[in-house]
Structure 1
Amino acid sequence: MTLEISTAELEINGEPTGRRFADFVNWFYDCIDTPVLRGTVLEFLLVDYLIKNAALIAGDRMSFHTGFPVQSQKSLEKSLRKYYATQPHGDVFDVQLHWGITVEIKTTSSTDWSIAKTSSWDIWIDENLKDVSKGFQAQYYVLAKLDGDGVKKNLTSVDFGNLDFYVLSGRELDQRANGNSIGLNRFLDGLTPL
């Protein structure tokens, strides 16, 4: 069930507060250029792009593993949209296209950005494995780098300005990392934006 944002009333213990969920959304999302909100919106847009191009991105791999022809984009998109209709919280990866193509999406406008290695997730005990070496768990990492001007907004649009997108595999990040993390310069070394 999807919340009807424009009309949903906020209540406490069944009592109306006189405020709608839309009031909260307008209050909370007014600072869209904060890193968490900006990153979440860009994640939403990139997940949407990946789903719209799932057959192109994952089709050959699916065919290789199953021996069947590539599924249609319409079929793939239908199954992915069912799961990603809302943001899955507690997910291990930002998006998983079929057959283990996992993607983590990161954003930054800072030169001080870095990303740390993580432990593997054990689905059976629902927690990170503590006794194994850390690494970059997703198969692919997409970094959206914003220019220094930040997000511009008006009453009808939100403009993220110039964005450069970079992609590295988890294995490449493991090789490039200096200890348990990798900084922006090392991530971008030798890459050109997509």
Structure 2
Amino acid sequence: MNPIDPRARRTRDRLRAAVRELAADHDPAAISMGAIARHADVNRATVYAHHSDVDSLVADALDDTIAHVARAAALCPLDAPRDRPPAPLVELFTRVGADAVLVARVLGPHGSPRAAAELRERTAAALAERFAAGARPAGTAGVDPEVHAAYLAGALTGVLAHWTAGGPAVPAEDAALAFWRLLRAGPGD
């Protein structure tokens, strides 16, 4: 499949839209390739020509959000005050909030293991790259940068799963502030 072929791009966009719409009402584990084909108005062979399974399609549908989360996480300044979340972190929560239903379904108990892993792994990779360049919070010198990045990516994924479950109960800026305070917590906090 030629990824720059306009017909292939249109089909891929239709499949992404179909899985997003279906995920609004169903966990990814309950969505079949046949249902996606019917919803996108294509045949099943076309779906399989683009994706091997539903999990792959869900990860693809969430790709832009995952990329945004990874970039924003790596851009957070290390010296922002504890009582004001950094702008990239607020952006991250705002973007996830716009995709809250799909993110909640993906990170939920019957979600998409591939998309959830990709979110964690791409965020950890972006953070590890930043840490390898020497940008690390004070007091973390004794921790392997990749372990530190994995820890933060896992914590962020867990908070995003909790925040999006049932729809964001608090505004993105408040959720970003809570997460930032947890990261910046010190003795006695």
After TM superposition, the score normalised by the length of structure 1 is 0.28
Q: Highest CA radius of gyration, 1 or 2?
A: 1
Q: Which has the higher helix share?
A: 2
RCO greater where, 1 or 2, for CA within 8 Å and sep 6 or more?
2
